[in-house]
Amino acid sequence: MPARIGGRRVTFANKIRPLLSASFDVPATNLAGPNNGTLTSPLTIDRGGALVVTDTYATTEMAGNVGFETAGAGDPDFFGTWTESAGNGAIADEGTLVDAGTHAAKLTAGATANTFVNQNITVIPGLSYQFTFKTRGDGTYGGRYGIYDVTHSQWITALTATAVSGTSYTTVTASVVAAPAACVSMGIYLYCPTTNTGIAYFDTVSLKPTQGLLAISNIYQALGASNLLYNGDFEVAARVGWTDTAGDGAIADTTTAGEFNGGARAVKITAGATANTKDAQAHAVIPGQTYTLAMWCRGDATNAGRYGVYDATNSADITARVTTGITSATYTAVSTTFLAPAGCVSARIDLWCPSVNGGIAYFDDVVVTQVPAAERRLVCYGGKVTGVWGDPGVWGPLIPYSAGLCVKANIIGTVPGYFALGLDSNQSGSPTYGGVQLSGPVVQEQSTGMTMGTFSYGVDTEYAVVTPSTTVLLLLQRKVGESWKLLYRWAGVGSMAAGVYPQLAENSGGLTVVDNFRVALLPAPWNSDWGIAHTRVAIPAVNEVIGMHSDFWLEFTWAAVTGQTWNLWVRRIDDSNGWIVRANQAGSTIKLIEIVAGVETERSSAAQTWTNGTSYRVVVIGDGFDLKVFVANGIKMAYAVAAYYGNTAKSDRAGVDFASFPRCVSLPAGV
């Protein structure tokens, strides 16, 4: 379908498949017991039709690496998917005393009995889950377990003894728990015994929903494009399905010719002195999904009505009250889109009177639909013709910013050019809040131009831009057959606007194919600044030591002091073995030093002014044998043959935000 954008001819190759099936996350309210699983029933939906729906959620295994069979990066990261905290005890990969397979988790208590493994799992608020596992003790002591509300930072099931101290594996079934309201992430914890040197073993872990997602009252969501509102055309008299709040105004059906758009009825809303009269209806939504609100509106020839969208779950505006802009006595179509925030399972549509006493607004044929995840592909031909960025450029609709906002796309660069994916505060220019840009065959962070990775022309590669908060931005890349990789963590975004536009732009004569462009709200741990960190110490002391992965992103903020030298170890075994990033304030240098058995060898050096009293954010990235060192978003050194020694980091000076992140990460399924 040819079109013109920015004065250029653009080809959009859109391939839309009929929506044959869809899943929907709505708590089961009308299905129970054996009906939670498969429902086969003819259902009349809007204009009629039969539907067969299969609910597989009730049999879904939510936990990962349930038998501890997938290894982590190595001591102290023994198990993939699980987060491990040895404290002053010990964690080991048990290869003999197992329940199934060839691995189990062995947790030995230290003096404070704080040794545990855990994993955080995305859940649906209000839905019930069953946590089970196999465990054994050492003949005297048994372990403990707990379930944690990650969203609200509180225990759901406090630490509880397994009551299994014997040497035979026994199944422990925790009490069924419901994810609390607005809780979208739940942690399962396995702990050592409470006695020093006591040992507990764990294997064959499971977390499954105890119910399906189907609710008869919400079954229409399976059609995707069906109206989520009941009686949106007001043809059922007395506005059945709607809640009237008249205040000092008035709400009425109107059947007067010219005052309805379709059918034979509409709603007429008259303002009183306080202009607080409205008609409202709530409907189910899925957190992170996009919806369209479309309606026909007219005024009284002078005044326009207003509307809003409200998060009924979290008691907050999604779209604050805004005017329809239609004062005319002729019906005009009005539409907008909105994103269901994290944890929101119910949104409310508010139709408001005008803001002037006595003003009248009319509404008819109000429709809310979920935007289907249909297949779509956009081909950007291009180039810069007028000198304006993004010719052609494509922007998504204005959406409210929420922590965890993510834009993602599959991108294939076929002709060398300059392509950007990111977020913008308006619909012009380059992405205001940074993003990923492809130039040459390298991947750069858009705002700083920093080269953070590579890509191959003609190869389908996935990219994601994630904003855990208004001041932090993450760039991720996934090549074919590989895991998602954290390319860049930018902590200088500034203040993200309340509303942003997802942006795609090709700017320099290239040809780029974009597919599966998505906007989503990611749950914990992606919606907080340090959520995906392996370890973070906010105020590190002198000689602070933290754990790290073999492939890593590590950062530390140091305030320079006249005459001071600062050493930052990475991939460290001990102070005599590993790598040192050395900042010399007096010498105005930064160096990369390899230290083996106490013998130092300088591998790279760069000039760097360290102004007394100024804080510097230093970042070190390890990827295979590559080490890169950055200061204040500028690269200082890159060394391509850096051996791996250990998995700790250390600073010999105090500072701020000593944190390590895994280089390889996992985005939630379906993103």
DSSP string, 397-454: --EE--TTEEEEEEEEEEE--EEEEEEESSSSSS-TT-EEEEETTEEEETTTTEEEEE
Query: What pLDDT sits at residue 311?
Result: 92
3-state secondary structure of 173: strand
Amino acid identity of residue 315, one-letter, is S
Q: What gap in Å lies between CA 358 and CA 249, rounded to an integer?
A: 8
End-to-end, the C-alpha distance of the chain in Å comes to 28
pLDDT at residue number 386: 23
Q: Is the peptide bond before 392 cis (omega within 30 degrees of 0)?
A: yes
Which has the closest alpha carbon to 552: 527, 569, 576?
569
For residue range 472-530, list pLDDT tens digits in order.
Answer: 888 898 887 788 999 888 876 666 677 777 777 665 555 566 677 777 788 889 999 99
Pairwise CA distance, residues 492 & 470, whole Å:
10
Nearest CA-CA partner of 69 in 61, 80, 60: 80
Q: What tokens does 142 get?
A: 């048994």
Residues 6+ apart with CB under 8 A from 257: none
Structure tokens at 263: 């059918």
How high is the pLDDT of residue 259?
93
pLDDT tens-digit readout, 600-628: 999 999 999 999 999 999 999 998 898 99
Q: Please give the pLDDT value at position 391.
A: 35
Map tokens 């925790």 to a residue: 174
pLDDT above 50 for 364 = yes
| Residue 560 pLDDT exceeds 90 | yes
CA 172 to chain CA mean position, Å? 32
Q: E-assigned strands of 62-167?
A: 71-74, 77-79, 83-85, 90-94, 104-108, 116-122, 128-136, 144-149, 154-161
Instruction: Look up residue 280 and give its two tokens.
Output: 């409202």
Take residue 270 and report the two structure tokens written for it.
């008259």
**What is the DSSP-derived secondary structure letter of residue 341?**
P
Would you state the structure tokens that stand for residue 194, as one six-digit string? Answer: 């409470």
Least confident of 283-292, 489-498, 648-657: 489-498
pLDDT at 130 over 70: yes
Angle at 284 between CA 364 and CA 360, to 5 degrees: 25
The yes-or-no verdict on residue 378 having pLDDT over 50 is no
Say whether pLDDT at 118 is over 90: yes
Cα 265 from Cα 252, distance rounded (Å): 10
Q: What pLDDT does 536 receive?
A: 95
Contacts of 596 (CB under 8 A, 6+ apart): 576, 577, 645
Q: What's the pLDDT score for residue 662? A: 93
The mean of the pLDDT values for the chain is 80
Is the confidence at residue 574, as pLDDT, over 50?
A: yes
> Is omega for the bond preceding 662 within 30 degrees of 0, making it cis?
no
Q: Which two tokens stand for residue 178?
A: 């419901």
**Bridging pattern class, strands 589-596 and 577-584:** antiparallel
Rounded to a whole number of angstroms, the CA Rg of the chain reads 29
d(CA 661, CA 534): 5
Residue 251 to residue 267: CA distance in whole angstroms: 7
Helix (H, G, I), strand (E, B) or coil at 524: coil
Question: What is the pLDDT at residue 173?
Answer: 92
d(CA 306, CA 327): 11
Cα distance between residue 560 and residue 340, in whole Å: 45
Phi, psi values for residue 105, rounded to 5°: -100, 125
Q: How far is CA 377 from the centre of its chain?
A: 23
Q: Which residue has the higher pLDDT, 223 or 521?
A: 521
CA distance 548 to 536: 10
Cα(581)–Cα(115) distance, rounded to whole angstroms? 31
Of 255-259, 273-277, 305-309, 538-542, which range is least confident?
255-259
Q: Is the pLDDT of residue 57 over 60?
A: no
Matching residue, tokens 């306080």? 274
Residue 175 pLDDT greater than 70, yes or no: yes
Cα–Cα distance for residue pair 48/279, rounded to 1 Å: 27
DSSP bridge partners of 621 = 553, 628
In the chain, pLDDT over 70 holds for what percent of residues?
Answer: 77
* Long-range contacts of the stretch 603-607 (C-beta < 8 A, 24+): 603/639, 603/642, 604/629, 604/637, 604/638, 604/639, 605/637, 606/636, 606/637
* pLDDT, position 619: 95
pLDDT the model gives residue 448: 61
Mean pLDDT value of segment 121-145: 90
Rounded-to-integer distance, Cα 580 and Cα 466, Å = 31
**Looking up tokens 């080991």, which residue turns up?**
92
Q: In order of start, what are the domains of the chain with their CATH numbers?
A: 71-209 (2.60.120.260), 227-370 (2.60.120.260), 383-521 (2.60.120.200), 535-665 (2.60.120.560)
Residue of 626, 648, 646, 647 whose CA lies nearest to 637:
626
How far apart, in whole angstroms, are the C-alpha atoms of residue 18 and residue 134? 45
Determine the average pLDDT of the residues in 536-548: 96
CB atoms within 10 A of CB 508: 14
- Percentage of the chain beyond pLDDT 90 is 46
Residue of 283, 496, 343, 512 lying closest to 417 (CA atoms): 512
Flag whether pLDDT at 160 surpasses 70: yes
* Pairing, β 544-547 against β 648-651: antiparallel
Cβ neighbours around 180 below 10 Å, total: 16
Q: How many CB atoms lie within 10 A of CB 69?
A: 15
**What confidence score (pLDDT) does residue 58 get?**
55
List residues bridging with 120 in a β-sheet: 187
Q: What's the average model confidence in pLDDT over 299-306?
A: 96
To which H or E segment does residue 228 belong? none
How far is 262 from 295, CA to CA, in rounded Å? 11
Return the half-sphere exposure (C-beta side, CA atoms, 13 A cut-off) of residue 351: 35
CA 130/CA 123 separation, integer angstroms: 12
Indicate if the pLDDT at residue 128 is higher than 90. Answer: no
Position with higher pLDDT, 328 vs 391: 328
Look at residue 222 and tell me whether its pLDDT is greater than 90.
no
Taking residues 570-595, what's their average pLDDT? 96
pTM of the prediction?
A: 0.46
Q: Give the single-character DSSP code of 353.
A: -
Q: Is the pLDDT of residue 53 over 70?
A: no
Q: How far apart are CA 605 and CA 589, in angstroms?
A: 7
CB 172 within 8 A of CB 132: yes
β-bridge pairing 128-136 and 90-94: unpaired
Query: What is the Cα–Cα distance from 67 to 206, expressed in whole angstroms?
Result: 9
Helices (H), ranges, 270-360 = none
Per-residue model confidence (pLDDT) at position 600: 97
pLDDT of residue 433: 61
Report pLDDT for 432. Answer: 64
pLDDT of 226 over the 50 cut = yes
Residues 6+ apart with CB under 8 A from 481: none
